[in-house]
Chain A
Amino acid sequence: AQSVTQLDSQVPVFEEAPVELRCNYSSSVSVYLFWYVQYPNQGLQLLLKYLSGSTLVKGINGFEAEFNKSQTSFHLRKPSVHISDTAEYFCAVSDRAAGNTGKLIFGQGTTLQVKP
């Protein structure tokens, strides 16, 4: 079984400042890792994903994340945030095992509040 913990429920930050949203996971098997973003009153959309290879993954809107296997973490970063980045961010994992059906286990979510 897998679990995902997002270490901060809310992250306030000023516009143009850097931000890091933290995600740790627990799993007895290898997993794929994802970050999704949810803007107000909308569905979720994929920011980025880690499947294999380079541990630094770049996504849309200038976000990137680093997979750290030894620390079982997948933290999301952006060097300079905009007001439009205000949203809820979800970290998720999916089982790599054969027959994977793409089911996602989500963290609790982190609300990023960008202030002018």
Chain B
Amino acid sequence: NAGVTQTPKFRILKIGQSMTLQCAQDMNHNYMYWYRQDPGMGLKLIYYSVGAGITDKGEVPNGYNVSRSTTEDFPLRLELAAPSQTSVYFCATGTGWSTEAFFGQGTRLTVV
């Protein structure tokens, strides 16, 4: 089993461009999450989903959009990239409640 797969691993965007970060899981988990990691700031929740067709905002949703049409996939969309979105993005899955979250390897995004 691959677990949580994120693509691409690295990307450089120009200001104003758009892109989609892909996240796919084969763990059959209902809950999926997108976090961003910035140096010295820990991880911040961007969006999360409790199941197909249901998404909600996290702590830092501005500038991002998500969709969840299937249990397996949870893409994160950046519409107008800004330098402030330079970060490492992690997708995670879980069964919610008290269980652990399983993280992908991350996508390192640079906006120039």
List the interface of chain A (C-beta within 8 A of B).
Answer: 4, 6, 9, 32, 34, 41-46, 49, 51, 90, 94, 96, 100-109
Contact = CB atoms under 8 A, between A and B. Distances in A.
Given A42-B105, A43-B105, A102 B99 contact: yes
Given A100-B96, A102-B101, 18 more contacts: A32-B98, A43-B4, A43-B92, A43-B103, A43-B104, A43-B105, A44-B92, A44-B101, A46-B101, A49-B98, A49-B100, A101-B48, A102-B98, A104-B33, A104-B45, A105-B45, A106-B44, A109-B42
A101 B50 contact: yes
B53 interface: no
A109 B40 contact: yes
A106 B42 contact: yes
A50 to B, nearest CB: 10
A101 B96 CA distance: 5
A13 to B, nearest CB: 20
Interface residues of B, number: 27
A108 B39 CA distance: 8
Given A43-B90, A51-B98, A94-B98, A104 B43 contact: yes
Contact of B103 (A6, A45, A105): A45
Closest 4 pairs (CB-CB, A-B): A43-B103, A106-B42, A102-B96, A46-B100
26 contacts: A6-B42, A9-B40, A34-B100, A41-B105, A42-B105, A43-B103, A43-B104, A44-B103, A45-B103, A51-B98, A90-B42, A90-B43, A101-B31, A101-B48, A102-B31, A102-B33, A102-B94, A102-B98, A103-B45, A103-B48, A103-B58, A104-B43, A104-B45, A104-B101, A108-B41, A108-B42
